[in-house]
């Protein structure tokens, strides 16, 4: 702590005293005077180079950092700019760039701007060191932002590079990505993303790196994320998941809570380190995940970090999948030693005793599991293949609790070091009753196959032809083994009815909305669809009132209900608001000349889908018009329907989107 205090003093004393400078607009190549200080800079021209030569941009000279206001350097709508060798402090945000491309920011310091270590739980706006909004194809290199709220924040930013920056010692996050994809984050110092009081158990919402809301296909390589609240947190509070990200050789050790915490599917974690945390990897709700060659050891130690012991006997884990679905998981070549609990834990839904979900379709092989209470701990889990794992000095090597089925421990063979390579082909959308072909025959080096088609059908051939009997979502998977080692393949399959649709097949012009403070745009979407030639896309806002918006369909001819007893449709949504939905969605109304029937779900469907894949895919909604244990029906069911509406209420005011497809009365 003494070293840190000295560093702060030297930085502050090196800066000249702030002068009462006007805003300086920069519209051409500019070199600043290092012997003086400046007020706010505004960059107004593209293709300019600004060389600060060590000059200071100073806002507040003193005072509490949480009271700092304004932006030190600001640019909007200008591209191709190089900013280098400048220091900024005393502002709410050091650097803010918006709507730009091809920027280079290098050798700059944005430390000692807005900072609030005493803030409690929750969000506190985007501020601190660097804030990029809708910026692409740009680079931030060799910069600093210490003692700020957020070191660097990317919002709607794609294709950027962050290299060798020091964004450490922040009171909220060192790096935050929101709806930002295909960025490369390499060799940055992101330590101590931490906000905690002495004696406090949890580090509130702080983390070294936070990734959320459709931040996809990024690469994170050789970053130091030690001593965070969490090290790296992939969050999906609004159910808009972040997938396709690759985390390689990052160090997230000494996290107060979790080295890595992930609630999104389809990410890869290769060669990372997560030691001396409460948990090394907490992976609830992370389907289609690969963890390979990571080290997760010494987690949950009573003499170190040991928050939230959820395993028996106040246990923790090196790697744990818990409190969220875990399907199609590969855990290979990891080292998990001396964890106070499990080396690797896979746990399905305990509340329903595995009825809602099981941890299903796993490969656990070639791991080194030493000195743990349990090498592998399994509960409410199904279809697990284990082979060539090295166990030593564990209390139990493999502990199977209740609800564990189809666990296969293959005979070890040290001569076989590589698993088979699995290739699977098959359709993603299949009509009910129509045979579909799923083929893994082009896989390399398999000796045996096992298929599970998600409806109880199991097969052991390389190719399977199958017809599904009911509409819905099915996890189709295959495990291929070459003796001791196995690999996974599979695909998510939507089985659709295929009959005539009401209002969701080229009918966008017949939709309107009810909420005078909002605006809705309807379109026939031929790209995002399940059935027929198009789905219906409803884009709510801007503006959006923040209340319930009823999407209303008026058919050209009234619909005779006759003996119809059920309304069904597929729904998909993207909602950036946190926590996305409120007050039950969707609420359905059927209106005719003799009355209106309103049907409301007894729980929030968009946020609590039975299949976790509905967060990024489609959810089948089937509503009995008479109501049942899951739906409340009120009012009068008309004999003919002249209007039909589906109402959505989001938490917050940000615009959101809803897709509907396959709408039918049955």
Which pLDDT score, from 0 to 100, does residue 454 have?
A: 95
Which pLDDT score, from 0 to 100, does residue 114 have?
A: 98
> Rounded to an integer, what distance in angstroms lies between the CA atom of residue 67 and that of residue 308?
34
Q: Are 313 and 373 in contact (CB under 8 A)?
A: yes
- Tens of pLDDT along 85-97? 999 999 999 999 9
Q: Report the sign of the C-alpha dihedral through residues 411, 412, 415, 419, in that order.
A: positive
Residues 6+ apart with CB under 8 A from 378: 345, 346, 347, 359, 384, 398, 399, 400, 401, 404, 407
Pair of tokens at residue 427: 């359709």
Mean pLDDT of 224-235: 98
Provide the whole-model pTM: 0.94
> Rounded to an integer, what distance in angstroms lies between the CA atom of residue 400 and that of residue 380?
9
Q: Are 155 and 131 in contact (CB under 8 A)?
A: yes
> Rounded to an integer, what distance in angstroms lies between the CA atom of residue 116 and that of residue 128?
10
> Rounded to an integer, what distance in angstroms lies between the CA atom of residue 375 and that of residue 390?
9
- Tens of pLDDT along 97-138? 999 999 999 999 999 999 999 998 888 899 999 999 999 999
Q: For residue 453, which of 421, 493, 488 has the smallest C-alpha distance?
A: 493
Instruction: Tell me if the bond preceding 345 is cis, omega within 30° of 0.
Output: no
Q: Where are the beta strands (DSSP E) in 34-146?
A: 37-38, 41-43, 49-58, 71-76, 82-89, 93-101, 104-106, 128-136, 139-141
Residue 445: Cβ-neighbour burial (10 angstroms; 0-12, 13-18, 19+): middle
Which pLDDT score, from 0 to 100, does residue 17 have?
A: 45
CA distances from 122 to 128, 171, 205, 320, 578 (A): 16, 12, 6, 25, 11
Instruction: Tell me if the bond preceding 586 is cis, omega within 30° of 0.
Output: yes
Q: At residue 522, does pLDDT exceed 80? A: yes
| Average pLDDT value for the chain | 94
Q: For residue 433, which of 499, 345, 386 has the smallest C-alpha distance?
A: 499
CATH code of the domain occupying 1-189: 2.160.20
Q: At residue 13, does pLDDT exceed 70? A: no
Helices (H), 427-569: none
> Rounded to an integer, what distance in angstroms lies between the CA atom of residue 524 and that of residue 428?
21
Q: Which CATH class is domain 508-665?
A: mainly beta
Q: For residue 588, which of 611, 607, 571 has the smallest C-alpha distance?
A: 571
Q: At residue 312, does pLDDT exceed 80? A: yes
Q: Are 180 and 159 in contact (CB under 8 A)?
A: no
| 3: three-class secondary structure by DSSP | helix
The DSSP code for 16 is P
> Rounded to an integer, what distance in angstroms lies between the CA atom of residue 139 and that of residue 122?
30
Pair of tokens at residue 513: 């909305």
Domains of the chain, by residue range, sit at: 1-189, 429-496, 508-665
Percent pLDDT > 70 in the chain is 97
Mean pLDDT of 573-577: 96
**Residue 9 pLDDT grade (very low, low, confident, very high; cuts 50, 70, 90):** very low
Which pLDDT score, from 0 to 100, does residue 200 have?
A: 87
Residue 594: Cβ-neighbour burial (10 angstroms; 0-12, 13-18, 19+): exposed
Q: Give the up-direction half-sphere exposure of residue 144: CA atoms within 13 A in the CB hemisphere.
A: 13
- What DSSP element (H or E) covers 364? strand 359-365
End-to-end CA distance of the chain: 69
Mean pLDDT of 501-510: 97
Percent helix, strand and coil across the chain, each to the nearest 5: 5, 45, 50
Which pLDDT score, from 0 to 100, does residue 20 have?
A: 52
Among 101-110, 438-447, 538-547, the range scoring the smallest mean pLDDT is: 438-447
> Rounded to an integer, what distance in angstroms lies between the CA atom of residue 575 and that of residue 506?
24
631-635: strand order across its sheet: 511-514, 548-553, 643-649, 587-592, 595-601, 631-635
| 278: three-class secondary structure by DSSP | coil
Fold of 429-496: Immunoglobulin-like (2.60.40)
Mean pLDDT of 597-602: 96
Which pLDDT score, from 0 to 100, does residue 436 have?
A: 96
> Rounded to an integer, what distance in angstroms lies between the CA atom of residue 613 and that of residue 608?
11
DSSP-derived pairing of the beta strands 207-212 and 173-178: parallel
- Tens of pLDDT along 614-651? 999 999 999 999 999 999 999 999 999 999 999 999 99
Q: Supply the DSSP string of 514-529, one letter for each residue.
A: E-TT--EEEEEESSS-
Mean pLDDT of 57-69: 95
């Amino acid at each position: 702590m003494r070293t840190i205090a000295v560093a702060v003093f030297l930085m502050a004393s090196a800066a000249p005293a702030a002068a009462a400078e006007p805003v300086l607009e920069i519209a051409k190549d500019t070199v600043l005077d290092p012997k003086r200080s400046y007020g706010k800079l505004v960059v107004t021209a593209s293709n300019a180079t600004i060389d600060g030569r060590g000059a200071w941009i100073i806002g507040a000279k003193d005072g509490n950092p949480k009271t700092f206001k304004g932006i030190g350097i600001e640019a909007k709508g200008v591209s191709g700019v190089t900013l280098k060798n400048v220091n900024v402090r005393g502002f709410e945000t050091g650097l803010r760039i918006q709507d730009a491309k091809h920027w280079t920011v290098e050798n700059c310091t944005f430390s000692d701007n807005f900072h609030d270590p005493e803030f409690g739980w929750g969000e506190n706006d985007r501020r601190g060191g660097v804030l990029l909004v809708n910026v692409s194809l740009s680079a931030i290199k060799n910069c600093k932002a210490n003692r700020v709220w957020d070191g660097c924040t990317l919002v709607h930013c794609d294709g950027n590079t962050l290299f060798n920056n020091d964004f450490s010692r922040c009171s909220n996050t060192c790096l935050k990505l929101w709806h930002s994809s295909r960025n490369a984050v390499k060799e940055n110092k992101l330590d101590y993303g931490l906000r905690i009081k002495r004696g406090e158990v949890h580090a509130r919402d702080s983390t070294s790196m936070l990734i959320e809301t459709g931040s996809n296909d990024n690469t994170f390589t050789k970053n130091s994320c030690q001593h965070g609240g969490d090290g790296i947190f992939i969050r999906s509070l609004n159910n808009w998941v972040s997938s396709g990200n690759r985390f390689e050789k990052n160090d997230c050790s000494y996290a107060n809570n979790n080295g890595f915490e992930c609630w999104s599917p389809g990410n890869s974690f290769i060669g990372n380190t997560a030691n001396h945390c409460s948990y090394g990897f907490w992976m609830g709700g992370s389907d289609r995940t690969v963890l390979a060659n990571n080290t997760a050891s010494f987690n949950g130690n009573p003499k170190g970090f040991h928050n939230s012991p959820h395993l028996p006997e106040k246990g923790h884990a090196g790697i744990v999948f818990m409190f969220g679905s875990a399907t199609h998981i590969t855990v290979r070549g990891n080292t998990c030693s001396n964890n106070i609990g499990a080396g690797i834990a896979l746990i399905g839904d305990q509340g329903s005793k595995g009825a809602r979900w099981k941890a299903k379709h796993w490969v656990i092989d070639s791991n080194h599991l030493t000195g743990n209470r349990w090498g592998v701990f399994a509960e409410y889990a199904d279809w697990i293949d284990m082979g060539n794992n090295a166990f030593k000095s564990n209390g139990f090597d493999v502990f199977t609790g209740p609800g564990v089925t189809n666990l296969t421990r293959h005979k070890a063979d040290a001569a076989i070091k590589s698993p088979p390579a699995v290739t699977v082909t098959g359709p993603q959308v299949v009509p009910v009753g129509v045979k579909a072909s799923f083929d893994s025959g082009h896989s390399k080096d398999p000796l045996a196959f096992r298929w599970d088609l998600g409806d109880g059908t199991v097969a052991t051939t390389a190719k399977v032809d199958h017809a599904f009997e009911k509409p819905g979502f099915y996890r189709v998977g295959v495990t291929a083994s070459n003796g001791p080692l196995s690999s996974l393949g599979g695909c998510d399959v939507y089985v659709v009815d295929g009959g005539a649709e009401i209002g969701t097949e080229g009918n966008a012009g017949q939709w309107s909305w009810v909420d005078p403070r909002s605006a809705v745009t309807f379109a026939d979407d031929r790209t995002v669809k399940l059935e027929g030639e198009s789905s219906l896309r409803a884009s709510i806002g801007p503006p959006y009132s923040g209340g319930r918006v009823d999407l209303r369909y008026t058919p050209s001819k009234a619909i005779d209900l006759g003996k119809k007893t059920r309304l069904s449709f597929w729904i998909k949504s993207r909602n950036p608001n946190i926590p996305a939905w409120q007050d039950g969605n969707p609420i359905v109304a059927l209106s005719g000349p003799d009355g209106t029937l309103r049907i409301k779900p007894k729980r929030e469907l968009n946020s609590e889908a039975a299949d976790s894949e509905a967060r990024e895919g489609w959810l089948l909604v089937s509503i009995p018009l008479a109501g049942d244990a899951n739906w409340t029906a009120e009012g009068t069911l008309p004999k003919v329907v002249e209007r039909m509406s589906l109402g959505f209420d989001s938490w917050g005011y940000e615009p959101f989107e809803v897709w509907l497809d396959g709408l039918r009365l049955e």
